[in-house]
Amino acid sequence: MSNSLGTLFKITSFGESHGDCVGILIDGCPAGLPITEDEIQREVDRRKPAAPGTTRRREQDKVEILSGVFNGFTTGAPLCLLTRNQDVDSAAYEKSRHMPRPGHADYTALLKYGGFNDFRGGGRFSGRITAGFVMAGAVARKLLGRLDIDIFAHTVEIGGVRAKQPPLAEIKARAAKNILWCADPAAAEEMARLIVRAQEEKDSLGGIIEGIALNIPAGLGEPVFDRLDSELAKALFAIPAVKGVEFGAGFALARMRGSESNDPFALEDEKIVTTSNNAGGILGGISNGMPLVVRVVVKPTASIARAQDTVDLEKMAPATIEVAGRHDACIVPRAVPVVEAMMAVILCDFALRANMIPRVLT
Ligand SMILES: Cc1cc2nc3c(=O)[nH]c(=O)nc-3n(C[C@H](O)[C@H](O)[C@H](O)COP(=O)(O)O)c2cc1C
């Protein structure tokens, strides 16, 4: 298995959906960062189910700092952060343990780990492990605050409904006003309606999240193999259910000419800027100082109550599965803070690699 990410700000994810806890170990966090459980809790609370059609599993998600903080400051030693699982109901999983859910990782996990894997609630493949990602993101975000880097994400599409894009400077505040994290209130209402309808129809919806980072210094990224875009993509693809990542104009670049896609350079207050941002703030795998813009595609939730074909692996016979249990009819709103967290973790790692953040903070 590969459960660690990063070079200097190195995170290791642990825990299972129905085990004792989920959490994150951070190695390489500079000493001297003031951090409290409450600060991390605020980020974790943003990931809790609140939107229509989200899981009825109600976890307290109370953040605990087990190590690496002394007298309110990080010590430079590994930070161990976790939240204990409390609202666990494994009955539905026990009943259908030999019937892999279409679209979920049950089948591949069983093949790879020979049946020893904890399958309850999806085990290591559950969206629950992203609570640990968000804890790491909270620490990374605080470190990046020293460079005035601001990271936010918002829902741009659910179930085929596209949000109108407000000016960049207004997105963060507008998205914070509704539980779908969508900066277009009319689109958010329509999205919410569609999610409820999909759930009533025993179905689920997917969508697109856009992540933005402002005030990124030019020069982050280590080509050729640790490019800023490739490392961000790796981190974002670690979020279960993410199926696509694009930067700037992304796949639309395929239909542009060079004269349209190139971002012309200009001078603004003696600073080099580009007058468009089709590159999404990254050239040659290195940040160019423009806003970093990345979009991720989140697939429709695999676990749906509608009858679907599967195979009973015990009897080796065709079977039908209706997934009971508590599932999100749309993962998108819950993944928004997770996208922010993964962006923060990667940007923090590169800022440390570029010596933009000292190892001991004063
Ligand atoms: C925040 C979050 C919540 C999720 N909730 C569910 C869920 O309730 N039901 C489900 O089937 N999948 C859920 N997922 C997605 C699955 O974990 C994921 O689809 C599965 O592990 C298979 O991996 P893949 O889709 O990346 O191939 C969630 C993902 C995230 C990020």
pLDDT digits 0-9 by tens, 262-304 = 999 999 999 999 999 999 999 999 999 999 999 999 999 999 9
Beta bridge partners of 65: 81
Pairing between strand 271-274 and 265-268? antiparallel
pLDDT at 168: 94
Q: How far is the CA of 260 from the centre of ligand 1 (A)?
A: 37
Q: Which two tokens stand for residue 194?
A: 């569609």
CB of 209 sitting under 6 A from ligand 1: no
Maximum CA pair distance of the chain? 72
Q: Is 117 in the pocket of ligand 1 (CB under 6 A)?
A: no
pLDDT in tens, the chain (362 residues): 999 999 999 999 999 999 999 999 999 999 999 999 999 999 999 988 877 877 777 778 899 999 999 999 999 999 999 999 987 777 777 777 899 999 999 999 999 999 999 999 899 999 999 999 999 999 999 999 999 999 999 999 999 999 999 999 999 999 999 999 999 999 999 999 999 999 999 999 999 999 999 999 999 999 999 999 999 999 999 999 999 999 999 999 999 999 999 999 999 999 999 999 999 999 999 999 999 999 999 999 999 999 999 999 999 999 999 998 778 999 999 999 999 999 999 999 999 999 999 999 98
In the reported structure, the alpha carbon of residue 27 is separated from the centroid of ligand 1 by a whole-number distance in angstroms of 27
Task: Look at the block and give the residue holding tokens 């930067």.
Answer: 247
Cα 15 from chain centre: 17
pTM to 2 decimals? 0.97
Is the beta carbon of 192 within 6 A of some atom in ligand 1?
no
**Cα of 236 to ligand 1 centre, how many Å?**
13
Q: Which of 304, 287, 305, 296 has its CA nearest to residue 353?
A: 287
159-195: pLDDT as tens digits: 999 999 999 999 999 999 999 999 999 999 999 999 9
Q: How far is the CA of 126 from the centre of ligand 1 (A)?
A: 6
Separation CA 84–CA 20 (nearest Å): 6
Angle 285-245-251 from CA coordinates, rounded to 5°: 85
Our mutation pick for probing the ligand 1 site, out of 43, 99, 107, 126, counting the most ligand atoms within 8 A of Cβ, is 126
Which of the 8 DSSP states describes residue 340?
A: H
Contacts of residue 90, defined as CB under 8 A and 6 or more positions apart, other chains included, come to 18, 120, 121
Contact 79, 29 (CB under 8 A): yes
Distances (CA, A) of 223 to 6, 36, 73, 288: 15, 35, 33, 14
Distance between CA atoms of residues 325 and 120, nearest Å: 11
Place of tokens 């697939």: 299
Q: From CA 91, how far away is CA 110, in angstroms rounded?
A: 19
Atom of ligand 1 nearest to the CA of 323: 11
Is 248 near ligand 1, meaning CB less than 6 Å away? no
Q: How far is CA 346 from CA 28, 37, 133, 222, 322, in A?
A: 13, 22, 11, 12, 38
pLDDT the model gives residue 155? 98
Return the number of other C-beta atoms located less than 10 Å from residue 280's C-beta.
24
